Amino acid sequence: MLAALTIRDVVLIERLALSLNAGLCVLTGETGAGKSILLDALGLALGGRGDSTLVRHGSDQASVTAEFDLPDDHPALALVREQGLDVEDTLVLRRVVTADGRSRAYVNDQAVGVTLLRRLGETLVEVHGQFDTHGLLNPQTHRSVLDAYAGLQTSLAQVGAAYRAWRQVEVARKEAAAEIGRARAEEEYLRHSVAELDQLDPRVGEEEELAETRSVMMHREKVVEAMNGAFAELAGERGAERGMNAAQRSLMRIVDKAGGRLEPVIGALDRALAEVADAVATLQALSSDEDLDPRGLEKLEERLFALRAAARKHNIEVDKLALLREDMSRRLNLIEDQGDALERLAREAEIAREAYLDAAKRLSGWRREAAAKLDTAVSKELPPLKLDRARFTTTVEPLEESAWGAEGIDRVAFLVATNPGSPPGQINKIASGGELARFMLALKVVLAAVGTVPTLVFDEVDTGIGGAVAAAVGERLSKLGRDRQVLVVTHSPQVAARGAHHLKVQKQATEERVTTEVVELSDRQRREEIARMLSGAKVTEEARAAADSLIAGRA
């Protein structure tokens, strides 16, 4: 509930700090005293429109702070947590408007956008009156209100789950159909490309291998010349191998006369001869290598150039040709398998759609039953509120399939007809200001247990009524106050007498300026205020007695 409201420099209000309580709180005062200013200030803290006209003359800025005491599971606190803001014992909304029209918003002293302030305000306070109305007057809320009234949360969850399952299958079917459509459009191209790539048969890493071999083959003459020269130096008539053999034979003739000193030399020559023999054998093998065959260069270059030409054609790297071939083959296989795949997905989508539709139709039936009960309950509240000629109707109509959603297949609307024989229409377009507030009051009385908005504000709900009707309005406001905090701006003594708390809005005039103040009335002061409302400027003893009677009758 709204626990405190602090206002500084808003129009005629210089400094005001209000502590508010649960139950029905009435605000009274002379016409022009500033009651509308008080509601404008509250609206500012709730994210309403703010401009420089709200700043008191001579001040640099206006500020309004609204402090709310809420249960831990209230949607406003969940929204605050979603935004990553600190959650404290109370929720404090603050709005500042400067004299040049700039605006700043805060939640628990943390700067936020005005949009967030407005979203929070919609969960905290509903205002019903002649000029500022929302909540139940918004047709988009009617379906959720009816569902809450009927206790259809479990059915709603089932419908939502069925809808999401259906949409998931539908998305898969549409994506598959789109992919198949794209594949069909390029089927001829795919078949031609796959045939070319099959014939080419590219391998990952092949370009690098071919480029290295081509480099060697392009230098074949120099390589062969160097190899032949090395072979001659190693194995020719004057080659190293011949010389080492001669040296070894010469040493072997005197090895036994050298006392073992020549053994290391002979061993070294043995090892050298073995290495030379390996080198000669390798050179002989390389001389017959195909990479050095001049006839192979042309064939190799044809292969390399063919791979690179295919890569340029498809605008990819040569090493990705093999992957492209696999992907194109997969898309061709998809075309061939498309009939079975689409048929299977279509069956699954139809089954999911029927499951959703069955759940949604059951929900529709329960909504129609609840609508009839709601109409009956609201209709009983209308005659005492001087709306006995009015008719309240809850319509549950089917939506086009394109508008179906997780909340079902229905459009729900609260309609009224204020005169017999006239067609029903939207409440805010049919009812006058006073009727509008009383319609909202009747609805709120019936829907007392529905919704999470803790504070209701009724602005001049008693416009154009008096006597027994005003008493009925007061009785219903008092009834609402048992479950919610209700603030009502009233000119009716019958309504004022019903309040659990009474605030009076009044002007204070000095030679320098006029200001608006709000005071909480004691029992004696309250008696005087209600007597004033009954008798006018001059309070009579008869008016005081009537006030006592009204106050006593609220129990």
| Residue 290 is assigned to a structural domain of this protein | yes
Antiparallel, parallel or unpaired: β 91-98 and 103-107: antiparallel
| Residue 310 is assigned to a structural domain of this protein | yes
Phi and psi (nearest 5°) for 99?
-65, -20
* 121/215 same-domain check: no
CA 144, 145, 151: angle at the middle one, nearest 5? 85
Antiparallel, parallel or unpaired: β 485-489 and 13-19: unpaired
Q: Which two tokens stand for residue 429?
A: 């377009």
Residues in Cβ contact with 77 at an 8 Å cutoff, skipping those fewer than 6 apart: 70, 87, 91
* 122/208 same-domain check: no
- Neighbouring CB atoms inside 10 A of 295's CB total 7
Domain boundary among 300, 331, 362: 331
Residues in Cβ contact with 191 at an 8 Å cutoff, skipping those fewer than 6 apart: 332
Domain boundary among 261, 296, 331: 331
| Residue 377 is assigned to a structural domain of this protein | no
CA 553, 384, 548: angle at the middle one, nearest 5? 15
Element holding 311 (H helix, E strand): helix 294-314
pLDDT, one tens digit for every residue, the chain (555 residues): 999 999 998 988 889 899 998 999 999 888 777 788 888 899 999 998 888 888 888 899 999 999 999 998 888 999 999 998 888 889 999 999 999 889 999 999 999 999 999 999 988 998 876 544 456 677 888 898 899 889 899 999 999 999 999 999 999 888 888 877 777 777 788 888 899 999 999 988 888 888 877 776 666 566 666 767 777 777 776 677 777 887 878 878 877 877 778 888 888 888 888 888 888 777 777 666 655 555 667 788 788 888 889 999 999 998 999 999 998 888 788 777 776 778 888 899 999 999 999 999 999 999 999 999 999 999 998 888 888 888 899 999 999 999 999 999 999 999 988 888 788 888 767 766 667 777 878 888 888 767 678 898 888 777 777 788 888 888 888 888 888 899 998 888 998 999 899 999 888 877 778 888 888 899 899 999 989 988 877 888 888 898 888 888 765
Query: Are 354 and 334 contacting, i.e. CB atoms less than 8 angstroms apart?
Result: no
**What's the total number of domains in the chain?**
2
Half-sphere exposure of 523 (CA within 13 A, CB side): 3
| Residue 516 is assigned to a structural domain of this protein | yes
* 200/324 same-domain check: yes
* 18/125 same-domain check: yes
* 115/213 same-domain check: no
* 114/193 same-domain check: no
User: 78-116 burial by CB neighbour count: b if 16+ within 10 A, else e?
Assistant: ebbeeeebeeeeebbbbbbbbbeeebbbbbeeeebebeb
- Per-residue DSSP letter, 55: B
* 40/118 same-domain check: yes
Q: What is the identity of the amino acid at 150?
A: A
| Residue 42 is assigned to a structural domain of this protein | yes
* 198/319 same-domain check: yes
* 112/35 same-domain check: yes
Domain boundary among 331, 353, 381: 331
| Residue 391 is assigned to a structural domain of this protein | no
Which range marks the domain in which residue 211 is found? 188-331
| Residue 415 is assigned to a structural domain of this protein | no
| Residue 125 is assigned to a structural domain of this protein | yes
Whole-structure pTM over 0.75, yes or no? no
Query: Are 223 and 293 contacting, i.e. CB atoms less than 8 angstroms apart?
Result: no
CATH of the domain at 502: 3.40.50.300
